[in-house]
A and B are shown apart, each in its own frame.
Chain A
Amino acid sequence: MKVGIIQFPGTNCEYDTQHAFASLGCETEILWHKNDAIPQGCDLVVVAGGFSYGDYLRSGAIAKMSPIMKALKVYANNGGKVLGICNGFQVLTETGLLPGALKRNEGLHFISRHHHLKVVNNENDFLRHCSIDQVVNIPIAHHDGNFYIDSEELQELYANNQVLLKYTDASGNIDNPNGSVDSIAGICNKAKNVFGLMPHPERAIEALLGSNDGKAMLEGFISA
Chain B
Amino acid sequence: MSTPLPDIEKVLKQHKLSLGDYDHIKKILGREPNLVEIGIFSAMWSEHCSYKSSKKHLSGFPTKAPWVIQGPGENAGVIDIGGGYAAVFKMESHNHPSFIEPYQGAATGVGGIMRDVFTMGARPIANLNALRFGNVLNQDDISAHQRYLVRGVVSGIGGYGNCMGVPTIGGETSFDECYNGNILVNAFTLGLAKSDEIFYGRAEGIGNPVIYVGSKTGRDGLGGAVMSSDSFTEASKGLRPTVQVGDPFTEKLLLEACLELFKTDYVVGIQDMGAAGLTSSSFEMAGRAGSGMIMHLDKVPAREQGMQPYEFMLSESQERMLICAKKGTEQAIIDIFEKWDLDCAVIGEVTATGKMELFWHGEKCAEVPVDPVSEEAPVLDRPMSRPAYLDEIANVKLSDFEAVDNQSAFEKLIASMEVVDKGWIYQQYDSMVQTNTVKKGGELDASVIRIKENGVALAMSADCNVRYCFIDPKAGAAAAVIESGRNVAMSGATPKAITDCLNYGNPENPEVMWQFAQGCLGIKEACAELNTPVIGGNVSLYNETNGKSVFPTPSIAMVGVNDDQNNVLLSTFQNEGNVVYIVGENRSEFGGSLYMKELYNVVAGTIPTIDYTKERALWNLVIEANKKGLLEAAKDCSSGGAAIALAKMACVSGKGIGATMNVNDPRDIFAESMSRAIIEVAPENCAAFEAMVGSLDCQKIGTIGGDTFSFNDVTMRLPEMQNIYYNTFKKVIEGDL
Given contacts A20-B435, A208-B438, 4 further A-B contacts (CB under 8 A): A12-B165, A16-B433, A55-B163, A109-B155
B432 and A112 contacting across the interface, CB-CB below 8 Å:
yes
A112's partner among B341, B430, B435, B436 (CB-CB below 8 A) is: B430
B59, chain A: closest CB distance, angstroms: 41
A67 an interface residue at 8 Å Cβ cutoff?
no
Check: A186 CB closer than 8 A to any chain B CB.
no
Identify whether the interface residues of B are mostly helix, strand, loop, or mixed: mixed
Also in contact, A111 and B248, with CB within 8 A (given A9-B253, A12-B164, A19-B452): no
Residues in A neighbouring B253, C-beta threshold 8 A = 9-10
CB-CB under 8 A from A206, the residues of chain B are: 435
A112–B428 CB distance below 8 A: yes
Chain B CB within 8 A of A60 CB: no
Contact B433 A13 (CB under 8 A): yes
* Complex interface: chain B residues within 8 A of A109 (CB): 155, 427-428
Interface pair B435/A51, CB less than 8 Å apart: no
B-side contacts of A10, CB under 8 Å: 163, 249, 252-253
A208 and B165 form a contact (CB under 8 A):
no
A54-B158 in contact given A109-B428, A110-B428, A209-B435 (Cβ < 8 Å) = no
Minimum distance in angstroms from B342 CB to a CB of chain A: 10
Cα distance A51–B250 in the bound complex, in angstroms: 11
Contact at B432–A200, with CB atoms within 8 Å?
A: yes
Confirm or deny: B434 has a beta carbon within 8 angstroms of a beta carbon on chain A. Answer: yes
Q: What is the minimal beta-carbon distance from A94 to any residue of chain B, in angstroms?
A: 17
**Chain B residues with CB below 8 A from A210, complex form:** 432, 437
Q: What CA separation (Å) do A22 and B535 show in the bound complex?
A: 36
* Total contacting residues, chain A, CB less than 8 A: 31
Interface string of A120-138 (1 = CB under 8 A from B): 0000000000000000000
Give chain B residues whose Cβ lies under 8 Å from the Cβ of A15. Answer: 434
Whether A139 and B432, one on each chain, are in contact in the complex, defined by CB atoms closer than 8 angstroms, is yes
The reply to whether B566 and A208 form a contact with Cβ atoms under 8 Å apart is yes
Query: Is A141 a contact partner of B438 (Cβ separation < 8 A)?
Result: no
Tell me whether A112 and B427 are in contact (CB under 8 A): yes
- The contact of B248 among A20, A54, A139, A208, by CB within 8 Å, is A54
Is B431 on the interface with A (CB-CB < 8 A)? Answer: yes
B726 at the interface (CB under 8 A from A): no
B162 located at the interface, meaning its Cβ lies under 8 Å from any Cβ of chain A in the complex:
yes
Alpha-carbon distance between A19 and B453 when the two chains are bound, in angstroms: 12
28 pairs of residues in contact across A and B, judged by CB atoms under 8 Å: A9-B252, A9-B340, A10-B163, A10-B249, A10-B252, A12-B433, A13-B165, A15-B434, A19-B452, A20-B435, A51-B165, A54-B247, A55-B249, A109-B428, A110-B429, A112-B162, A112-B429, A139-B432, A141-B431, A141-B432, A200-B432, A203-B435, A205-B435, A206-B435, A209-B435, A209-B438, A210-B432, A210-B437
Q: Please judge, given known A-B contacts A10-B163, A12-B433, whether A51 and B249 are in contact too, CB under 8 Å.
A: yes
In the docked arrangement, what's the CA distance between A16 and B432, Å? 10
A141 touches B162 (CB 8 A): yes
Overall SS of chain A's interface: mixed
Task: Give A70 Cβ to nearest chain B Cβ, in Å.
Answer: 19
Known: A9-B340, A110-B158. A51 touches B431 (CB 8 A): no
Would you list which residues of chain A between 199 and 224 have a CB under 8 Å from chain B?
200, 202-203, 205-206, 208-210
CB of A63, distance to nearest CB on chain B (Å): 12
CA of A102 to CA of B162, assembled, Å: 18
- Tell me the residues in window 21-74 of chain A with beta carbons closer than 8 Å to chain B beta carbons: 49-51, 53-56
Distance in angstroms between the alpha carbons of A173 and B52 in the assembled complex: 61
Known: A9-B249, A50-B165, A110-B158. A208 touches B565 (CB 8 A): yes
CA of A54 to CA of B164 in the docked complex: distance in angstroms? 9
Within 8 A of A (CB), among B153-167: 155, 158-159, 162-165
With a CB–CB cut-off of 8 A, which chain A residues contact B341? 9
Is B474's CB within 8 Å of the partner chain A? Answer: no
Residues of A within 8 A of B566 (CB): 208
A152 and B387 alpha carbons, distance in the complex (Å)? 73
B115 within 8 A of A: no
B450 is an interface residue with CB less than 8 A from chain A:
yes
- Chain A residue nearest to B434 (CB atoms) is A16
Q: Contacts A9-B340, A208-B565, A208-B566 hold; do A110 and B432 have CB atoms under 8 A apart?
A: no
Q: Could you say which of A16, A56, A113 contacts B427, with CB atoms under 8 Å apart?
A: A113
Nearest A residue to B163 via CB reads A51
Size class of the contact patch on chain B: 20 to 34
**Pick the contact of B249 from A19, A53, A113, A200 — CB < 8 Å?**
A53
**Which residues from 558 to 573 on chain B have a C-beta closer than 8 Å to any C-beta of chain A?**
565-566
Contact with B along A83-125 (1 / 0, CB 8 A): 0000000000000000000000000011111000000000000
For the complex, what is the distance from the CA of A19 to the CA of B436, rounded to whole Å?
A: 11
Chain A residue at smallest Cβ distance from B442: A113
Contacts A10-B252, A12-B165, A54-B249 hold; do A112 and B340 have CB atoms under 8 A apart? no
A209 to B426, CA, bound (A): 17
Residues of chain B with a CB closer than 8 A to A111's CB: 427-428
Measured between alpha carbons, how far is A104 from B428 in the docked complex, in Å?
14
CB < 8 Å: which of B159, B340, B432 contacts A209?
B432
A141-B433 CB under 8 A given contacts A12-B252, A111-B427, A208-B438: yes
Contacts of B247 in A (CB 8 A): 54
A10 to B248 alpha-carbon distance, docked (Å): 9
Task: Assess the A51–B162 pair: CB atoms within 8 A.
Answer: yes
Complex alpha-carbon distance, A204 and B165, angstroms? 17
A222 to B452, CA, bound (A): 24
Which of B165, B249, B433, B450 is the one whose CB lies under 8 Å from A56?
Answer: B249
Assess whether A209 is in contact with B433, with CB atoms less than 8 Å apart.
no
* Alpha-carbon separation in the docked complex, A19 to B341 (Å): 27
Within 8 A of A (CB), among B237-296: 247-250, 252-253
Task: Compute how far the CA of A132 lies from the CA of B341 in the bound complex, rounded to whole angstroms.
Answer: 46
User: Which chain B residues border A143 with CB–CB below 8 Å?
Assistant: 162
Interface centre among B248, B249, B432, B566 (most CB of A within 10 A): B432
Q: Which of B159, B423, B430 contacts A141 (CB 8 A)?
A: B430
CA–CA, A12 to B432, complex, Å? 12
| Residues of the B chain whose Cβ atoms lie less than 8 Å from the Cβ of A55 | 163, 249
Interface mask (A175-201 → B, CB under 8 Å = 1, otherwise 0): 000000000000000000000000010
B260 → chain A, closest Cβ, in Å? 12
* Closest chain B residue, CB of each to CB of A207: B566
For residue B450, which residues in chain A have a CB less than 8 angstroms away from its CB?
A: 208-209
| Contact call A110/B430, Cβ cutoff below 8 A | yes
Digitize B171-188: 1 where CB-to-A-CB distance is under 8 Å, 0 elsewhere.
000000000000000000
